[in-house]
Amino acid sequence: MRMMLAAPLAAMALAGCSTMDNFSASPIAEAQLTRANGVPVGTAQLVSDGSTLSLAMVATGLEPGAHGFHLHTTGRCEGPDFKSAGGHLNPLNREHGSLNPEGKHVGDMPNLEVGTSRTASTTIDIGPDTAAYRNYLFDADGTAIVIHAGPDDYRTDPAGDAGSRVACGVLTMS
């Protein structure tokens, strides 16, 4: 029985590989996210398909539920509170949140939904792949990705009332 299943599973795996050949996103930067004590939490990769910048992230060991996560203005992740990452990336001087009529920051993203297995993965479009957006992300002091303890309410300025910062990683060019 195992041998009978092996061939179809191998064929499905190879079919998946051929699909990946058609995936045209190019890696631009990555981040290793950790807790303040240095324990790894996840990884993030910034990719481009030539027109859109997207952030793909995988995280583990977080409390189940919604967690705000954002791009922060400074590429520095010093514990214990990660305040060194500064505020949300906001080069256009907008208010916070997708529900705010004056929003949103470039660094505002949808909540990260962590399942009962304490893991999460997501891919989010950040914005257009333009020189301006790349300059926002890779200015002189860099950009950090921060995961918060609670959910972002998408409207409270300046940070969405998402609670303390529980994980952080610095985006570095690939």
> Which tens digits make up the pLDDT trace of 8-44?
333 333 333 333 343 457 899 999 999 999 999 999 9
Q: What pLDDT, on a 0 to 100 scale, did the predictor assign at position 16?
A: 38
pLDDT exceeds 90 at position 6 = no
**Cis omega (within 30 of 0) on the bond before 80?**
yes
Q: Which domains does the chain have, with CATH numbers?
A: 24-173 (2.60.40.200)
* Residue 93, φ and ψ in degrees, nearest 5: 55, 50
Q: What pLDDT, on a 0 to 100 scale, did the predictor assign at position 101?
A: 81
Mean pLDDT of 55-69: 96
Q: Say which range, 13-22, 140-149, 159-168, has the weakest mean pLDDT.
A: 13-22
Calpha distance 164→90 (Å, rounded): 19
pLDDT exceeds 60 at position 66 = yes
Q: What pLDDT, on a 0 to 100 scale, did the predictor assign at position 105?
A: 85
Choose between 19 and 167: higher pLDDT: 167
Mean pLDDT of 62-71: 96
**32-67 b/e with 16+ CB inside 10 Å = b?**
ebbbbeeeebbbbbbbbeeeebbbbbebeebeeebb
Q: What pLDDT, on a 0 to 100 scale, did the predictor assign at position 28?
A: 94
Neighbouring CB atoms inside 10 A of 4's CB total: 7
**77-110 b/e with 16+ CB inside 10 Å = b?**
beeeebeebbebbbeeebbbbeebeebbbbbbbe
pLDDT exceeds 60 at position 57 = yes
> Which tens digits make up the pLDDT trace of 113-127?
999 999 999 999 999
